[in-house]
Structure 1
């Protein structure tokens, strides 16, 4: 039986830096490749400040979810939601009322993994492994993710921490692309999009940030919950800046009209980088390998979050962790192969972004007021007194 953690176990906790890395890695994934096109088709040159507006919107939602999780240190949403919604005499009531939350999160995580895997598979077979069936690429990728996703949350945090530096390399190449091929004239004029289109752009961009809901699970293992605001805010700021800079580079290199005709503008921006002096003339294969790490971490984090949510909800023993992880793979694979082409995948991604936004808003909107009114709160570990 799984136990509620009112006190973090030494050696089995997540540090504030690891919390930052987990949030960063879960958001920074395959969505960045097409982000300039997905937002630019609505907002044109205004996509630069629309990305910032979208980041601020998501940051506000993250802070609400952080506040909720911080009230119950050492507990995941599947362990504190029944406490909020139920009572001591009828514990089953809280568990029943928590089921829609589990269903919503499971739906998002499964769909998110499916879409991200399919998009990355399309990129691989289009740009590098042109003779390899996409089914094989996706299946191998999911099996590897299941191995990682079947790990304990603290082990997953260490894995993300190790991989984090590699994901920063594409940023350097975006800087080089901006310097080599960027044109300032391509960034103007601004202010042409109307507010309905700006709103659609903001909503479209939120899908690229959607991995932040892992905090509802990983926060139960934070060694210093009182520092989660700083960790999550720093992750949001970092990812927002990277997305903004990726859009800036793509827009300056291609312009707003051409960007709408390119499937993966960020990918194409890096392909124009020329480093003959360093014996590298084509960088896309190396960058694809780096993005493989980023997407792999993102999907593994989502998978581990789903596994942990199921274990907490049904009080499963630790031995079931790996089995649950692999049992989810066929579901994700089947859904990933449903769309007939990448255009349909984009439609699904847009709808998932709207669903993710509604889900992320509804969870704290329901649980926070009930928790405050009923004066429900978890037992604070000793570290929280240091705040």
Structure 2
């Protein structure tokens, strides 16, 4: 295929960096609410929700990786116009692909804003009670902008460094919380209809939001890097962490108690004691790790939006730097849009459904059109050969 439009930085990310990027993006604000949201409909079986809900996520990341392998070195912004218009009708392809590209960028933009708002709500509630919410949100945005001022290889290195610093402490805290486990709390294993289980699993989508950034970042994988493998590793690690946290919440508190707590994972950490009194207040360490996790989620999402705009408008690094500063203002107003925590949680549910459209339906349509075009070319070659 044509090499036109490839970024000079392609072949940048290793398998480890791709896995780090996906996992660091997925593990974020969803960690704090997942034990409550999964047990709302599935009760004791809530720990199954991340496992069942990940089926769609695995399929989506496979689709995204397949599209990226078909167009190596190109992002979704670049190959979408090729899918819709081919190499011959690039102008038509641009206009037909524009709605899909804008839906992707806007959805990712809103998701990033709402993630920052949830982060602010938790910090104001649990740590900095006298600090205005707006200050917390802007602080996170400033960090994201600083990362956007650099090229994409810097993003890869930041995620690579923070990944183990996020993953291992969260795993340690989750395992330590099993000291107070009452395993009877997960019995009976299944007492709700399968329809309810499927619905509950589907509603975990917000916790898996973020992997759609690979529509941009898979383009920068090293040529020997298995994109499907990186995607499966990243999501598999996230599923394991989520399942462990939800299971810990259920066996410690029970599903009824989880429904009365706004941030159940934070309460779980508060009730956990580390043997040997290494840390007297474990939630302080957890929140420090969680801040890093949310930063990678917000920064990766915002970087993908800015970089996508840069490619859509065919601009350079100067545009990326200016846009990252300018767009922080609408991002802030979207973040403070929900008037209270109830509206915020409704917005997260809506985002979960939107994510399915952006990360599953859109790539699926692109893939089907690509298959149709490839089949048409084969027919033309066959008829020419017989002619």
8 Å CA contact retained: 2:19, 2:230: yes
Please identify, of 270-279 and 356-365, the stretch whose mean Cα deviation from structure 2 is larger.
Answer: 270-279
- The equivalent of 2:100 in structure 1 is 101
- Equivalent residues of 1:29, 1:294 under 8 A apart: yes
Report what 1:337 is aligned to. 336
RMSD of aligned Cα (Å) = 1.8
Query: Residues 337 and 76 of structure 1: is their aligned pair in 2 closer, same or farther, counting only changes over 3 Å?
Result: same
Q: CA deviation at 1:280?
A: 1.8
Which structure 2 residues correspond to residues 47-86 of structure 1 after superposition, within 5 A?
47-86=46-85
1:277 equivalent to 2:276? Answer yes
- CA distance in 2: counterparts of 1:31 and 1:267, whole angstroms: 12
2:173 is aligned to 173
Q: How do 1:200-279 and structure 2 match up within 5 A? A: 200-224=199-223, 227-275=226-274, 277-279=276-278
Q: How far off its partner does 1:7 sit?
A: 7.8
1:16 is aligned to 2:25: no
Alignment of 1:37-186 (within 5 A): 37-168=36-167, 169-178=169-178, 180-186=179-185
- CA distance in 1 between counterparts of 2:40 and 2:162 reads 33
Moved more, 134-143 or 83-92: 83-92
* Secondary structure, counterpart of 1:206 in structure 2: helix
Determine if contact 1:151/1:304 at 8 Å carries over to the other structure: no
Query: Which residue does 1:385 correspond to in 2?
Result: none
For residues 361 and 120 of structure 1, what CA distance do their matches in structure 2 show?
26
Q: What's 2:353 paired with?
A: 354
Q: Which residue of 1 aligns with 2:378?
A: none
Q: How far 1:137 sits from its partner (Å)?
A: 0.7
Report the CA distance between 1:213 and its aligned residue.
Answer: 0.4
Q: TM-score, normalised by structure 1?
A: 0.92
User: Aligned residue pairs: how many?
Assistant: 372
SS at match of 2:262: coil
1:276 Cα deviation after fit: 6.7
Q: Determine helix, strand or coil for the equivalent of 1:75.
A: coil
Cα deviation, 1:239-277, whole Å, max 9, x if unaligned, reads: 001000000000111001001111111111111122372
Point out where structure 2 has 5 or more consecutive residues left out of the alignment: 376-387
Task: Name the SS of the counterpart of 2:226 in structure 1.
Answer: helix
1:368 aligns with 2:384: no
Could you list the runs of 5+ residues in structure 1 that have no partner in the other structure? 377-387
The CA deviation string for residues 123-145 of structure 1, in whole angstroms up to 9 with x for no partner, is 11111101101111111111111
CA distance in 1, matches of 2:236, 2:284: 28
The answer as to whether partners of 1:114 and 1:336 remain within 8 angstroms in 2 is yes
Pick closer, same or farther for the CA change 1:8–1:281 going to 2, 3 Å.
Answer: closer
Please state whether the residue corresponding to 1:307 is helix, strand or coil.
helix
- Give the Cα separation in 2 of the matches to 1:351 and 1:139: 24
Structure 2-normalised TM-score?
A: 0.92
**Partner SS state of residue 74, structure 1:** coil
Q: In the TM superposition, what is the alpha-carbon distance from 1:8 to its structure 2 partner?
A: 6.0
